[in-house]
Chain A
Amino acid sequence: MSEITRKGHAQEPFIRISKRGDEMPVWKAWGIRVIGLILALIVSAIVIYAIVKLNPLKIYVSMWQGAFGTSKRTWVTVRDTMTLLCIACALAPAFAMRFWNVGAEGQVLVGGIATAACMIYFKSLPLPLLFLVMIIASIVAGGIWGLIPGFFKARWNTNETLFTLMMNYIAIQLTAFFVATWENPKGSNSVGVINRQTKVGWLPNLFSEGYNTDFGWNVIIVLLVATLVLIYLRQTKHGYEISVVGDSENTARYAGIRVKRVYIRTMALSGAIAGLAGFLAVSGASHTISTQTAGGRGFTAIIVAWLSRMNTYVMLVFAALIVFLDKGATEIASSFGMNEYVSQIISGIILFFVLGSEFFVNYRVKFRGAKTGGADK
């Protein structure tokens, strides 16, 4: 008998994976993520070295220079972090509802279009009023763009991932349409800087006169948005409804929550905030509109929002990391004669590792013969 039992045990699978029964302490979870990040940096360093035979450490130093070397660079880094953070904040309500809004790219663009249109057509309005109109227009445009997939999800359960994905490209073509409409100068295939002389509709400096030397307003607006979104999700009835719907539609119905309405409302909100990010990108940064206004940040923000578990302040960290990589790599490109796309490679590697480390936070891996408790990672 005992022999047979032993035989049974010998065939136990080599590796057993099980969901962690207990929550991991926060420090340990972050420890694992940091280990993932360090591994990623090591792997990136090896990759860089293999490609260009340059000392990776030097490269990282140079990246730092690129992102924070001068006060102007620092401000640009901050500005872009804020835009990315704003988009990630837009995604948070949708993701909290387990609604896969991959359409931020498009929502940002339509917000940008609305902003640019106001800058072009309403330049005679008094400035405060113009800004108000711009902000409202961008929010409404983004909101509509988000509401549409929300409506179809609520009404016919149309797959939201695919729907929002398609909406992106419709928005991109729409942008191309407006770029062609507003082309300036003719034949340039771009809108050029809007109101280059008058700077009407440009978000001004906060700490000094003029434009483009600090981006304090961007910081204030986005941090405000981040705080409001966090409060909205954690402290309001709407936020509560979102969490319940995200957890189980059945339970939501049991609690008397109107599930369809929550879907539509939340997606409109998600799109609206993304539209506001479009406003920032146009009025607060580039002062122009192009199909690159969102520049893939609608997609990057998905990763930021997901990794941060819908906590908008944690998003700040991830957004800063990604923007830092981007800025840094542009610097390497010029100073080492490399190509700026190296930043995407490094971002990719780092994100792969950070994503992978989530597994070790959520699951327990047990090797055959290991004592109970098992080996983590």
Chain B
Amino acid sequence: MITLLHSAIVFGTVILFGALGEIISEKAGNLNLGVPGVMYLGAIAGLVGVFFYELGTPNPIPIVCILIALVCSFAASALGGLVYSFLTITLRCNQNVTGLTLTIFGSGVANFFGGSLNKLAGGVGQVSVPVTSGAFRKYIPALASIGGEKSIGYLLFSYGFMAYAAIILAILIHFYLKKTRSGLNLRAVGENPATADAAGINVTKYKYLATCIGAGISGFGGLYYTMDYIGGTWANDGTIEALGWLAVALVIFATWRSLNAIWGAYLFGVCYWMYLYIPGLQRRSLELFKMIPYVVTLLLLVFVSMRRRKEDQPPAGLGLPYFREER
């Protein structure tokens, strides 16, 4: 049970980052279906950054590794967000189509460089950044062993710092959206851009910033995946893309609330790993178990639309371009 929860939390952290970024973006009315691509970009940029640092430095300093990874990751995925923003906000392209293109582009870039890195690493064909990955996975053994082996301490304190960062970030985003003026303005932009515009809010600026910062945060999901989840390497197996879509699902599941996303992410994680802990399961049935997060999300989506509670609906301006003169 503890190990299930543990792997659920690790799994959940990846999609939590992805979903948090997407929440910010969607709250500003931009349905960015490029989340998988953005997560790819964040993952590869962080990996490439530290790979060259570790390659060129005899004794890499862990903290520098972490900083390089974070900065590269954020910059690359925010850049992806910027391309999306420019196309959808300034050039008013269709959001769905642009987002999907970003996903294609991001996964292309990431897998291209990831594959090349594997080649560069030579021999076995697997790139590895042990120092950075170690730093990302570091936890405090004393805390983690509270209550003995694989017990409460393990459950609560045995993760790399990013797992906690994700929770803190979720709380911060909640605080930002609910308690600050800027957060209020942001939500207004997503709900009703014309009203926001009339109230003197710079709609374009908010949309750009929300989408780029959101993309940067989503990118951390990819980074966490490469550095912590699979231990500082690269795999061209398309997992990040699947996780990216799960992050989009999580946004819906959390009804656009970052606090809900925390437990939602872990719940998705439990659903994802549950099959390991159910005895006598055939391999084909476990595939059905992996379907659960999506089915649950779908049911919730239907339920929410049936209930028509205003607070649970997607932002009213989601997916629509805003053009002042088209009133």
Q: Touch between A and B in complex, CB under 8 Å?
A: yes
Closest to B93 in A: A355
Interface centre among B31, B112, B282, by most A CB within 10 Å? B112
Residues of B98-118 at the interface with A, using a CB-CB cut-off of 8 Å, are 98, 100-112, 115-116
Contact B249 A348 (CB under 8 A): no
B interface size (C-beta, 8 A): 56
Contact check, A348 vs B104: say whether CB atoms are below 8 A apart: yes
Given contacts A156-B306, A162-B252, A299-B104, contact A341 B111 (CB under 8 A): yes
- Fill in one digit per residue for A164-176: 1 if any B CB lies within 8 Å of its CB, else 0: 0111111001101
Q: From A296, which residue of chain B is reached at the shortest CB distance?
A: B104
Which B residues from 265 to 305 make CB contacts under 8 A with A?
282-285, 287-288, 290-291, 294-295, 297-298, 301-302, 305
Contact with B along A151-164 (1 / 0, CB 8 A): 01000111101110
Q: Which residues of A contact B294 (CB under 8 A)?
A: 166, 169-170, 173
Q: Mark A334-376, 1 if CB is under 8 A from B, else 0.
A: 0000110111111111011001101100110000000000000
Q: State whether A303 touches B100 (Cβ < 8 A).
A: yes
Given contacts A177-B287, A180-B284, A339-B116, contact A344 B104 (CB under 8 A): yes
- The answer to whether A161 and B305 have CB atoms under 8 Å apart is no
Interface residues of A, CB < 8 Å — how many? 54
Q: Contact between B245 and A165 (Cβ–Cβ < 8 Å)?
A: yes
The binding surface of chain B is classed by DSSP as helix
Per-residue CB contact flags for chain B residues 102-139 toward chain A (1 = under 8 Å, else 0) read: 11111111111001100100000000000000000000
A72 at the interface (CB under 8 A from B): no
Closest chain B residue, CB of each to CB of A100: B96
Per-position contact with A for B243-254: 1 when CB-CB < 8 Å, else 0?
001101100100
CA distance A165 to B241 in the complex (A): 13
Residue ID in chain B nearest A168 by CB atoms: B245
Q: How many A-B residue pairs have CB under 8 A?
A: 161
Q: Is there an interface contact between B112 and A177, defined as CB atoms closer than 8 Å?
A: no
Q: Which residues of A contact B108 (CB under 8 A)?
A: 341-348
B248 closest partner in A (C-beta): A165
Chain A contacts for B103, CB-based, 8 A: 299
User: Cβ of B284 and Cβ of A177 under 8 Å apart?
Assistant: yes
Chain A to chain B contacts (Cβ below 8 Å), 27 pairs: A17-B325, A51-B112, A152-B302, A162-B252, A163-B298, A165-B245, A165-B249, A173-B288, A173-B291, A177-B287, A177-B288, A180-B282, A296-B104, A299-B104, A303-B97, A303-B100, A306-B94, A307-B97, A341-B108, A342-B112, A343-B108, A345-B109, A346-B108, A348-B102, A348-B106, A358-B93, A359-B93
> Closest 10 A-B residue pairs measured CB to CB?
A344-B108, A348-B105, A180-B284, A173-B291, A176-B287, A359-B91, A341-B112, A341-B111, A339-B115, A158-B305
Question: Which A residues are closer than 8 A to B by beta carbons?
Answer: 17-19, 51, 100, 102, 152, 156-159, 161-163, 165-170, 173-174, 176-181, 296, 299-300, 302-303, 306-307, 338-339, 341-349, 351-352, 355-356, 358-359, 362-363
